[in-house]
Chains A and B, each alone.
Chain A
Amino acid sequence: GAGVSQTPSNKVTEKGKYVELRCDPISGHTALYWYRQSLGQGPEFLIYFQGTGAADDSGLPNDRFFAVRPEGSVSTLKIQRTERGDSAVYLCASSLTWVAGDTQYFGPGTRLTVL
């Protein structure tokens, strides 16, 4: 079946602009996660949704970052007033349940470049 999909695959923007990154989880998966991977590093957790609500947003670096999942399926990560340090690959993952240890399946990522 279809895996996690993310759009766009690449996004180039200018410093100070607003961007939205979209994630389509695997159909039927109730939990959704966002991670950020900087060059040469492992992914770092940003936020996690159970259904429509953000169950853990402790990884969001500051209040310029926000994410929503209004109908419990597709999610959008929103970044305001982008900075060059926001350049990274943004990864989305989903899992069937939110039971601890449930496997997270990752999408291909969105590469964000802030000029």
Chain B
Amino acid sequence: AQSVTQLDSHVSVSEGTPVLLRCNYSSSYSPSLFWYVQHPNKGLQLLLKYTSAATLVKGINGFEAEFKKSETSFHLTKPSAHMSDAAEYFCVVSSMDTGRRALTFGSGTRLQVQP
């Protein structure tokens, strides 16, 4: 079984300040972990993914995430928020060792960026 918990439903930051979106996962097998972003009325876009290589993963638009097995966490960070970062962010898990290919999504974190 696999599941994802996004610890904050809403996060509000000021432009130019750091972003932290928190995610904890549960997986019976070695996980693949992803962060997707969804802008209003747009499709889901992959930000970054972890698949058992380097634990610090760099993605697009300055985002990165660190896989911490001991804490079962995969938090998303960005040093300096931009207005265009305002969107819904989903943490996603998929198990590497089973026949299932379904992605399991968290409930999402809405990021607001204040000017």
Which residues does A use to contact B, with CB under 8 Å? 3-4, 31, 33, 35, 40-45, 48, 55-56, 58-59, 91, 93, 95, 98, 100-109
Q: Which of B65-115 contact A (CB under 8 A)?
A: 90, 94-108
How far, in whole Å, are A55 and B101 apart by their CA atoms in the complex? 9
A42 and B105 contacting across the interface, CB-CB below 8 Å: yes
B positions within 8 Å CB-CB of A: 32, 34, 36, 42-46, 49, 51, 90, 94-108
- CB < 8 Å neighbour of B101 from A3, A98, A109: A98
Contacts of B104 in A (CB 8 A): 45
B101 adjacent to A107 (CB under 8 Å)? no
CB distance from A56 to the nearest CB of B (A): 6
CB distance from A62 to the nearest CB of B (A): 18
State which of A41, A48, A106 has its C-beta within 8 Å of the C-beta of B44.
A106
A42-B90, A42-B108, A109-B43 known; A104 vs B103 contact (CB < 8 Å): yes
Q: Contact between B106 and A42 (Cβ–Cβ < 8 Å)? A: yes
Chain B residue nearest to A97 in the complex (CB)? B101
Given A100-B95, A100-B96: A45 in contact with B42 (beta carbons within 8 A): no
Q: How far is the CB of A36 from chain B (nearest CB, A)?
A: 11
C-alpha spacing A48/B104, complex, angstroms = 13
Residues of B within 8 A of A35 (CB): 103
25 contacts between A and B (CB under 8 A): A35-B103, A41-B108, A42-B90, A42-B108, A43-B44, A43-B103, A45-B102, A45-B104, A48-B101, A55-B101, A56-B99, A56-B102, A95-B101, A98-B101, A100-B95, A100-B96, A100-B97, A100-B98, A101-B49, A101-B94, A101-B96, A103-B34, A103-B49, A108-B42, A108-B43
Contacts of B108 in A (CB 8 A): 40-42
Partner among B32, B42, B99 whose Cβ is within 8 Å of the Cβ of A101? B32
Do A100 and B106 form a contact, CB below 8 Å, given A43-B44, A56-B100, A56-B101? no
- Given A48-B102, A103-B34, A103-B46, 18 more A-B residue pairs with CB atoms under 8 Å apart are A31-B101, A33-B101, A42-B107, A43-B44, A43-B105, A45-B103, A45-B104, A48-B101, A55-B99, A56-B99, A56-B102, A58-B102, A100-B94, A100-B95, A105-B46, A106-B45, A107-B43, A108-B43
